């Protein structure tokens, strides 16, 4: 696409954007009486205007029905999310469930998919993975009596580079192969914005005999995913970033159908028990077939109500249209930032197949101050030590004009 660095061009792109109307479905924080320039969807997505009604519906049912609502409505409430969740991550309905929060789900999944032996006991993650993943992996390794210094393989970029090279990842998987029990990589790295080739990593992980899982916090609702076809063993994600379902909203889980009748280890709870006999309250755990068998507790209905409203929007817009716009929108941000390459450099890969919507931008001088001043001028983005600002134009609600204005503000600060 041929971009131009002008507000007229950005406005023209907005007029031609076939999914521009979705912006009106969201509440924007206000800044000087106008919509703020919001690029924080990689942390917390904006609030759909329907969220409140969704929560109120459930509060009304609670008020009117009390516990009767539990049996008539909420017991199967999470099932209303199944089809749209499956569509979003490229799964079969039996392979997904919404439950708990992301790190909790990673732990629950590792109980099943990390079964170390004396020969095969290592976990592979990216160096600089989100700290919660790092802590979770280390604590799992220690829980099984191994030493993270030996049992945690951290995929590390080459000297002087920020992103991992695909060949280096595969080379490590092959060379360490026989000792690897589990691979757990972020589908998109939270810091660099680099997206990984999940299919190839899964293929090579399986060749060497490991389980392969992904933390999709920065990928779900951002990239087109095809978890079933890629043959991924397991995955988990949060729904408060690109999926716009509000602070602390419940996480999503994928378990491939080949593990649906799982007989190995898992931490059980009554919500994973066969639905037909759950309320017989028998002593023996009979798991539901598929991902739902990993549920432990009953569902947080009020935050699921927000997710349900948000998923309606994804179903309507469709990931194909969202991803098409996303590539063009992030491409525009990249184009504009590249006009100031003496002052900033982009850490995120330039190939759109290797990134989602986020660009991580290294500020050459006074980065923290520039970030703070962006906030004072009505640009919401975030700062990651030591010198990176992350900007995530979300195709559902960001416009080309947002992108143009934000970069102009950045340019004026740096001038
Ligand atoms: C990549 C990644 N993993 C894990 C987490 C932790 O999520 P939670 O607090 O829902 O467990 C986050 C949170 O932002 C994240 O970005």
Mutate to test the pocket of ligand 1, among 40, 99, 101, 103 (most ligand atoms within 8 A of CB): 103
Say whether both 270 and 171 belong to one domain. yes
Number of domains in the chain: 2
State whether the beta carbon of 108 lies less than 6 angstroms from ligand 1. Answer: no
Instruction: Flag whether 180 is in a domain.
Output: yes
28 lies in which domain range?
7-48+319-414
Q: Are 409 and 374 in contact (CB under 8 A)?
A: yes
Measured in angstroms, how far is the CA atom of residue 132 from the centroid of ligand 1?
Answer: 6
Domain closes at, from 299, 315, 331: 315
Say whether both 148 and 70 belong to one domain. yes
Instruction: Flag whether 2 is in a domain.
Output: no
Say whether both 15 and 122 belong to one domain. no
Q: Which residues are CB-contacts of 30 (< 8 A; sequence separation ≥ 6)?
A: 36
Domain closes at, from 281, 296, 315: 315
Domain closes at, from 261, 292, 315: 315
- Does the pLDDT at position 415 exceed 90? no
The Cα 91–Cα 7 span in angstroms is 40
Residues 184-216: b if buried by 16+ CB within 10 A, e if exposed: bbbbbbbbbbbbbebeebbebbeebebbbbbbb
State whether the beta carbon of 132 lies less than 6 angstroms from ligand 1. Answer: yes
The Cα 181–Cα 337 span in angstroms is 41
Residue 114: pLDDT band with limits 50, 70, 90: very high
Say whether both 386 and 360 belong to one domain. yes
Say whether both 300 and 395 belong to one domain. no
Per this entry, what is the length of the chain?
415
pLDDT of 74-101, one tens digit each? 999 999 999 999 999 999 999 999 999 9
- Give the distance from CA 102 to its chain's centroid: 9
Q: Are 299 and 77 in contact (CB under 8 A)?
A: yes
What's the mean pLDDT in 114-132? 96
Say whether both 309 and 324 belong to one domain. no
Kindly report the backbone phi and psi dihedral angles of residue 46, in degrees, each rounded to the nearest multiple of 5, phi listed first: -70, 160
Residue 230: pLDDT band with limits 50, 70, 90: very high
The Cα 98–Cα 82 span in angstroms is 8
Q: Are 179 and 119 in contact (CB under 8 A)?
A: yes
pTM of the model: 0.97
- Does the pLDDT at position 191 exceed 90? yes
| CATH number of the domain that residue 230 is part of | 3.40.640.10
Say whether both 324 and 302 belong to one domain. no
Average pLDDT of the chain, as a whole number: 97
Instruction: Flag whether 1 is in a domain.
Output: no
Say whether both 42 and 113 belong to one domain. no
Say whether both 199 and 330 belong to one domain. no
The Cα 396–Cα 413 span in angstroms is 28
| CATH number of the domain that residue 350 is part of | 3.90.1150.10
Cα Rg of the chain, angstroms: 22
Say whether both 194 and 278 belong to one domain. yes
- Does the pLDDT at position 195 exceed 90? yes
Say whether both 168 and 268 belong to one domain. yes
Measured in angstroms, how far is the CA atom of residue 193 from the centroid of ligand 1?
Answer: 14
- Give me the DSSP letters along 52-70: HHHHHHHHHHHHHHTTHHI
State whether the beta carbon of 414 lies less than 6 angstroms from ligand 1. Answer: no
Instruction: Flag whether 407 is in a domain.
Output: yes
Q: Name the residue with the closest Cα to ligand 1, atom 14.
A: 43
Q: Which residues are CB-contacts of 151 (< 8 A; sequence separation ≥ 6)?
A: 116, 121, 122, 123, 141
The Cα 413–Cα 390 span in angstroms is 17
Say whether both 80 and 28 belong to one domain. no
Kindly report the backbone phi and psi dihedral angles of residue 414, in degrees, each rounded to the nearest multiple of 5, phi listed first: -80, -25
Tell me, what's the pLDDT at 383? Answer: 95
């Amino acid at each position: 696409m041929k971009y131009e660095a002008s507000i007229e061009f950005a406005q023209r792109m907005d007029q031609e954007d076939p999914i521009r109307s979705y912006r009106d479905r969201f509440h924007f924080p206000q800044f000087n009486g106008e919509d703020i320039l919001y690029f924080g969807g990689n942390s917390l997505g904006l609030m759909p205007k329907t969220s409140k009604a969704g929560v109120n519906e459930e509060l009304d049912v609670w008020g009117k029905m009390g516990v009767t609502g539990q049996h008539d409505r909420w017991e199967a409430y999470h099932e209303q999310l199944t089809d749209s969740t499956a569509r979003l991550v490229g799964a079969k309905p039996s392979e997904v469930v919404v439950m708990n929060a992301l790190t909790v789900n990673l732990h629950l999944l590792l109980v099943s998919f990390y079964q170390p032996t004396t020969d095969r006991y290592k976990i592979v993650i990216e160096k600089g993975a989100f700290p919660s993943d790092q802590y979770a992996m280390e604590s799992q390794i220690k829980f099984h009596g191994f030493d993270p210094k030996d049992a945690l393989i951290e995929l590390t970029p080459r000297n002087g580079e920020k992103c991992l090279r695909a060949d280096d990842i595969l080379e490590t998987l092959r060379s360490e192969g026989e000792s690897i029990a589990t691979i757990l990589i972020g589908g998109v790295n939270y810091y660099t914005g680099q997206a990984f080739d999940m299919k190839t990593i899964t293929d090579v992980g399986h060749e060497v005999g490991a389980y392969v899982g992904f933390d999709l916090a920065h990928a779900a609702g951002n990239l087109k995913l095809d978890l079933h076809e890629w043959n991924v063993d397991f995955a988990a994600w949060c729904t408060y970033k690109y999926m716009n379902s509000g602070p602390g909203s419940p996480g999503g889980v994928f378990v491939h159908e080949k593990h649906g009748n799982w007989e190995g280890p898992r931490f059980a709870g009554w919500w994973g028990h066969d639905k037909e006999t759950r309320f017989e309250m028998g002593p023996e755990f009979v798991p539901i077939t598929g991902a739902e068998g990993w549920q432990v507790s009953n569902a947080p209905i009020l935050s699921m109500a927000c997710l349900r409203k948000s998923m309606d929007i994804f179903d309507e817009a469709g990931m194909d249209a969202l991803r098409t716009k996303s590539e063009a929108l992030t491409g525009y941000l990249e184009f504009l930032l590249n006009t100031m390459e003496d002052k900033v450099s982009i850490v995120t890969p330039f190939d759109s197949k290797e990134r989602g919507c986020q660009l991580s931008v290294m500020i050459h001088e006074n980065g923290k101050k520039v970030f703070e001043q962006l906030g004072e001028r009505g640009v919401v983005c975030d700062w990651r030590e030591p010198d990176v600002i992350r900007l995530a134009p979300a195709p559902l609600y960001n416009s080309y004009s947002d992108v143009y204005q934000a970069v102009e503000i950045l340019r004026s600060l740096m001038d």
